[in-house]
Amino acid sequence: MTEAALPSVVDDPRWHAFHDKGFACLCGQTHVGLFPIQMQVPKGWPGGPTYEPNEALRMNGDFLSFDYCVMDGKYFAMRMRLPLAMRGAEPAAFMYTVWASLNRAEFEVYVNAERRSQLAPNARAPARLINNINGYENTGGLMGSAFHQEDGGYPVLLVHGPQPDNDANHPLINHQRNGIGVDTMLDLFAAYGHDMRTGAGK
């Protein structure tokens, strides 16, 4: 099926039902509309999600806040948004907040610009996804580009290929490029304990 022939979620009655009354979930709640899936810590972090304030950021040793991470004073990462467009209903997107690594210089550029509220909408930097995302195989290590957001929101991470570290046919790259439908959305929610497939009639 070509990209142009991929079905729109707007033509799927479940999409409208999800935003109207929502779907019963095996977690015991009823979810109405999209909500983000958050990765708590980057791959390789030697502990759980115990966060320090962003303002306490230090560039040596180990540091973890909700938004920034430094490991061994050598590896630098930050929280980013990784959107998968709901095909045909853009800008609606299934949203992950993930961790991605940058080199130290790019990391410092972002932190300093964010603190001064001077993020530039056209600024971008090479970034590497450092979470393994449930529902996909081997996402940790995929390369992409991080785009600063002028409104101060998390950078948007777009993974891409082909390049030495990326599989151009990786499903995550395909889903980000072409968007996803309701069935994939339900599977990805279920991969993080929010199984609404029975409630949606899948």
Position with higher pLDDT, 5 vs 134: 134
Position with higher pLDDT, 163 vs 80: 80
**pLDDT score, position 42:** 97
- What's the pLDDT tens digit per position in 53-64? 999 999 999 999
Strand partners, 146: 125, 157
Q: At 123, which amino acid appears?
A: A
Residue 2 has pLDDT above 50, yes or no: no
For the chain, the farthest-separated pair of C-alpha atoms sits apart, in whole angstroms, at 52
Domain range annotation of the chain = 8-45+75-190
**pLDDT score, position 168:** 79
**pLDDT score, position 3:** 47
Angle, in degrees to the nearest 10, between helices 13-20 and 182-190: 50
Position with higher pLDDT, 73 vs 5: 73
3-state secondary structure of 150: coil
- What's the pLDDT tens digit per position in 75-101? 999 999 999 999 999 999 999 999 999
- What's the pLDDT tens digit per position in 13-50? 999 999 999 999 999 999 999 999 999 999 999 999 99
Name the pLDDT band for 165 (thresholds 50, 70, 90).
Answer: low
**pLDDT score, position 202:** 77
**Distance (Å, rounded) from C-alpha 49 to C-alpha 56?**
16
- What's the pLDDT tens digit per position in 108-162? 999 999 998 888 878 899 999 999 999 999 999 999 999 998 887 899 999 986 6
**pLDDT score, position 182:** 98
